[in-house]
């Protein structure tokens, strides 16, 4: 008959202030070990706290060993496999063989690894555990720490005790194709052969049997991860003294995915202790940076990309362009500094078969290799620029299931922008391999508070690293053939023609109810300002004041209007308009007779101011009028070119806030 042994008990876990053990009464835990503790916030020798509800449970396939001290038995270590109780704290383990089992059991151990002197086994009353430097086919949450129990007979309920310790790392986003994660303990041996006396289970810890070798300080958990998901990694270790830990994760191409070094712990890790790192989200392949030298050019999927110069990503040794969908017969080169004088290979690399590939390039040798695109290496960046026509709303969003997946209406907010030829262009970075050669429909540019474009189709028929569009309320997104030409910013003429300000980015105003935005430029003779002002507040008697804090010290100089602008060593003020309230703005257009320019207490000159009105409605609070002005630089006693000063502006006593500016 087949003898069945029942291991029945409750695995209730708790820490007390002076206890560091995790005890497993008659149970072994693998998959659902759910203690919580912070590796970085240890306030006492206790490694953490475990709620009593966080119990250890059995998993399918769990195997234990039982040692029988019986002279008639040749194989004194016998395997038992979990037959029922999976997912619970109580398990039934069945002997792997048939017949009558000896009643002379004296010890039990976990895990069972098989027979042989290099496996976990009891020999002549001593338990020998092998802590491996590598564990294969590791499963998330699998508990590998050695457990030992003393028995007086085969009918005993078995009470397992920890013989070693453990370190748990939970990573929420392990990338696809990761094959291993390693843990290193600085200067302490964690693999090799260890022993323990079963009679002292619960008291003694593992003792090293081998000759000490602190180079055996790394243990690997080898996994198979087909897609991104969360993993619990539990590393078995012996007792450790204030361990200093580091981790490293590698993919199937033996490329480093992630690494982390921790400072030494302030307390020891003893028998039954577990260090638990808080769950973390990693940044895979963070060592890869966009190459400033090496670019890809050629054809992709039959589309001409010889002029694209797509930057590769490098870790300092290899350059990778990930996820390229090639067609058979595509050709390419990798060139340095966008120059074919240094390019590989000497003849074009010809793609033999269609497929999605990673391009690997080793600069030191010039070697190029195409590998199946399986690992999520950094993708080729493509930047989409959306120029906003009209006034800039409070927020700009892109709504597209392809370009902004998962972002609910109004979509993903765009915050990064660039000023190009008099217009703000909002940036959105995407994976180029997912858009090249594609036509993407139902794309919207949305202002959360006021408007959106109509649903538009964007076609990426050519291969570039930058694409430019313009967005206007209620109309389709317009795709531009090239980057808009930047207007010249070489000189400003104060004449009421605002076009020469187009290339100069504006500064935001904290009081847009009066000053919408403003711009600044300087040359050897003058400083120049541009202001967009609220139109129906632009009339005679409305003062414009510009304060210059030339030493960036608020405690020196003087203040304007009860400390609204402070620390001024120079100031310019002007009444730019001559019209009455409620009428269309009329600018002075020339040297303003009532203006003032002063440094310290000396009045030195006048302000030259001209205006431009775009004909916007006077009745609307959102309408603007525009002025530009110049002030002689020497009259302000400004520091030399390259110096940084602080400027604050006010119109009708509304202050823009201050801005740090480097003088040209």
Mean per-residue pLDDT for 581-587? 92
Q: Which pLDDT value is given to residue 487?
A: 60
pLDDT band at 44 (very low <50, low <70, confident <90, very high): very low
Mean per-residue pLDDT, 5-24? 30
The answer to whether 296 and 310 have CB atoms below 8 angstroms apart is yes
pLDDT value at residue 14: 27
pLDDT band at residue 219, thresholds of 50, 70 and 90? very high
| Band of residue 26 on the pLDDT scale cut at 50, 70, 90 | very low
Q: Which of 2-11, 330-339, 620-629 is least confident?
A: 2-11
User: Which residue intervals of the chain bear CATH 2.60.40.10?
Assistant: 289-372
* CA–CA dist 454, 445 (Å, integer): 8
> Rounded to an integer, what distance in angstroms lies between the CA atom of residue 497 and that of residue 530?
11
- Res 67 pLDDT > 60: yes
CATH 3.40.605.10 describes domain 381-480: no
Closest listed residue to residue 492, CA positions, set 518, 543, 527: 527
pLDDT at 82: 84
- Section 505-526 average pLDDT: 87
Q: For 55-64, 101-110, 295-304, 473-482, which range has the lowest pLDDT when averaged over its residues?
A: 55-64
The CATH class that applies to domain 289-372 reads mainly beta
Higher pLDDT, residue 319 or 54: 319
Average pLDDT value for residue range 525-538: 92
Cis amide leading into 195 (omega within 30)? no
Q: Express each pLDDT in 416-472 by its tens digit.
A: 999 888 788 999 999 999 999 999 999 999 987 778 999 999 999 999 999 999 999
Q: What is the mean pLDDT of residues 493-513?
A: 87
At 532, list the tokens: 């967009």
- C-alpha–C-alpha distance, residues 339 and 256, integer Å: 30
Mean pLDDT score across all residues of the chain = 85
Q: Read off the tokens for 412.
A: 């993903």
The secondary structure element, H or E, covering residue 144 is none
Name the percent of the chain lying above pLDDT 70.
90
The two tokens of residue 544 are 């414009």
Question: Any residues with CB less than 8 A from the CB of 413 and at least 6 apart, and which?
Answer: 395, 396, 397, 448
Confidence of residue 488 (pLDDT cuts 50, 70, 90): low
- Kindly tell me if the per-residue pLDDT of 88 is higher than 90: no
Cα gap 353→326, rounded to integer Å: 8
Q: Whole-angstrom Cα distance, residue 509 to residue 655?
A: 8
420-to-487, 505, 554 alpha-carbon distances in Å: 8, 8, 34
Query: Would you say residue 596 has pLDDT above 80?
Result: yes
Model confidence at 574: pLDDT above 60: yes
Of 431, 462, 458, nearest in space to 304 by CA: 462
pLDDT for 161 beyond 90: no
> Where are the CATH 2.60.40.1110 domain residues in the chain?
381-480
Distance CA 441, CA 476 (A): 11
Residue 12, pLDDT > 50, answer: no
Q: State yes or no: pLDDT of 374 exceeds 80.
A: yes
Q: What is the pLDDT of residues 145-160, one digit of tens each?
A: 898 889 888 777 777 8
Any idea which of 37-41, 85-89, 402-406, 612-616 has the lowest mean pLDDT? 37-41
Tell me what the mean pLDDT of segment 292-318 comes to.
95
3-state secondary structure of 522: strand
Stretch 358-374: mean pLDDT: 96
What is the average pLDDT across 91-107? Answer: 85
Closest to 627 (Cα-Cα) out of 519, 547, 555, 521: 519
Q: Which two tokens stand for residue 95?
A: 């002997």
Q: What is the pTM of this model?
A: 0.71
Residue 77 and residue 93: Cα distance in Å, rounded? 15
CB 56 within 8 A of CB 32: yes
- 8-state DSSP, 639: -
Label residue 37 by pLDDT band (50, 70, 90).
very low
What are the tokens at 94?
């069945």
Better-predicted residue by pLDDT, 38 or 284: 284
Is the confidence at residue 183, as pLDDT, over 80? Answer: yes
- Quick one: which of 256, 250, 238 has its CA closest to 193? 238
Residues 372, 380: Cα–Cα separation, whole Å: 16
Highest mean pLDDT among 182-191, 389-398, 598-607: 182-191
Give the pLDDT band (50/70/90) at residue 486: low
C-beta of residue 119 within 8 angstroms of C-beta of residue 127: no
235 bridge partner residues:
167
Tokens encoding 31: 């998959």
- DSSP code at position 265: P
Under 8 Å CB-to-CB from 639, ≥6 apart: which residues?
550, 645, 663
Is the pLDDT score of 636 beyond 80? yes
Average confidence (pLDDT) over 276-285? 90
Task: Output the CA–CA distances (angstroms, integers) from residue 237 to 63, 166, 208, 222, 259, in the order listed.
Answer: 20, 5, 12, 16, 20
- List of E strands, 86-176: 91-95, 105-110, 121-123, 126-131, 134-135, 147-150, 161-162, 165-174
For the residues 60-79, what does the mean pLDDT come to? Answer: 90
| Confidence grade of residue 57 (pLDDT, cut at 50, 70, 90) | low
End-to-end CA distance of the chain: 96
The CATH label, of 3.40.50, 3.30.300, 3.10.450, 2.60.40, for the domain at 498-662 is 2.60.40
Cβ within 8 Å of residue 601, ≥6 positions away = none
Helix, strand, or coil here: 179? strand
- The dihedral region occupied by 192, where left means phi > 0, alpha psi between -120 and 50, and beta the remainder, is left
What is the structure's pLDDT at 601?
Answer: 63
Answer whether 322's CB lies under 8 Å from 298's CB: no
pLDDT at 350: 98
Which phi-psi region, left, alpha or beta, contains residue 350 (left: φ > 0; alpha: ψ -120 to 50)? beta
Taking the CA atoms of 530, 533, 539 and 541 in sequence, report the sign of the dihedral they define: negative
pLDDT digits (tens, 9 = 90+) for 323-365: 999 999 999 999 999 999 999 999 999 999 999 999 999 999 9
* Per-residue pLDDT at 30: 26
């Amino acid at each position: 008959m087949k003898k069945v042994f029942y291991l029945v008990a409750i695995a209730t876990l708790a820490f007390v202030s002076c206890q560091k053990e995790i005890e497993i009464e008659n149970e072994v835990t693998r998959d659902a070990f759910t203690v919580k503790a912070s590796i970085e916030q240890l306030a006492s020798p206790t490694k953490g706290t475990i709620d009593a509800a966080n119990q250890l449970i059995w998993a399918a396939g769990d195997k234990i060993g039982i040692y029988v001290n019986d002279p008639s038995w040749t194989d004194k270590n016998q395997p038992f496999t979990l037959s029922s109780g999976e997912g619970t704290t109580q398990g039934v383990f069945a002997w792997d063989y048939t017949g009558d089992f000896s009643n002379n059991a004296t010890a039990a151990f976990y895990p069972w690894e098989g027979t042989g002197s290099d496996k976990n086994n009891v020999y002549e009353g001593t338990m020998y555990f092998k802590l491996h430097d590598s564990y294969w086919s590791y499963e998330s949450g699998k508990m590998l720490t050695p457990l030992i129990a003393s028995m007086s007979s085969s009918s005993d309920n078995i009470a397992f005790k920890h013989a070693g310790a453990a370190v748990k790392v939970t990573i929420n986003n392990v990338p696809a194709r990761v094959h291993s994660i390693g843990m290193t303990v600085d200067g302490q041996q964690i693999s090799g052969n260890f022993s323990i006396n079963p009679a002292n289970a619960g008291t003694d810890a593992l003792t090293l049997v081998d000759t000490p070798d602190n180079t055996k300080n790394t243990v690997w958990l080898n996994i198979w991860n087909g897609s991104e998901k969360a993993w619990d990694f539990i590393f078995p270790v012996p007792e450790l003294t204030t361990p200093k830990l580091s981790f490293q994760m590698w993919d199937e191409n033996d490329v480093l995915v992630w690494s982390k070094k921790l400072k030494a712990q302030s307390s020891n890790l003893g028998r039954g202790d577990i260090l638990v790192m808080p769950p973390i989200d990693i940044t895979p392949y963070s060592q890869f940076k966009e190459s400033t030298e090496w670019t890809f050019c050629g054809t992709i999927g039959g589309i001409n990309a010889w002029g694209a110069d797509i930057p590769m990503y490098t870790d300092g040794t290899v350059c990778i362009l990930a996820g390229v969908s090639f067609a058979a017969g595509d050709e390419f080169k990798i060139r340095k500094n966008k120059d074919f004088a240094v390019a590989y290979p000497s003849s074009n690399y010809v793609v033999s078969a269609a497929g999605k590939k990673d391009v690997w390039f080793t600069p030191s040798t010039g070697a190029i290799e195409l590998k199946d695109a399986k690992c999520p290496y950094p993708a080729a960046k493509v930047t989409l620029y959306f120029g906003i026509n009209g006034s800039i709303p409070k927020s700009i969003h892109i709504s597209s299931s392809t370009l902004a997946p998962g972002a609910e209406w109004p979509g993903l907010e765009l915050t990064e922008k660039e000023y190009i030829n008099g217009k703000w262009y909002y940036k959105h970075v995407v994976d180029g391999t997912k858009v090249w050669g594609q036509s993407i429909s139902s794309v919207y540019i949305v202002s959360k508070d006021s408007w959106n474009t109509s649903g538009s189709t964007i076609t990426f028929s050519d291969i570039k690293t930058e694409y430019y569009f313009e967005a206007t309320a209620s109309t389709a997104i317009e795709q531009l053939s090239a980057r808009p030409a930047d207007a010249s910013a070489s000189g400003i003429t104060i004449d009421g023609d605002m076009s020469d300000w187009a290339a100069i980015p504006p500064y935001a105003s904290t009081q847009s109810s009066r000053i919408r935005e403003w711009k600044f430029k300087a040359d050897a003779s003058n400083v120049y300002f541009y202001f967009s002002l609220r139109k129906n507040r632009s009339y005679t008697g409305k003062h414009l004041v510009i304060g210059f804090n030339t030493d960036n010290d608020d405690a020196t100089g003087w203040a304007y209007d009860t400390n609204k602008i402070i620390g001024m060593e120079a100031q310019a003020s002007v009444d730019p308009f001559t019209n009455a309230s409620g009428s269309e703005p009329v600018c002075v257009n020339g040297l303003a007779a009532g203006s003032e320019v002063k440094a310290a207490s000396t009045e030195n000159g006048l302000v030259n101011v001209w205006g431009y009105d775009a004909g916007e409605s006077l009745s609307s609070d959102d309408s603007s009028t525009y002025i530009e002005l110049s002030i002689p630089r020497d009259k302000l006693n400004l520091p030399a070119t390259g110096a940084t000063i602080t400027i604050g502006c006010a119109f009708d006593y509304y202050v823009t806030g201050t801005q740090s500016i480097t003088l040209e």
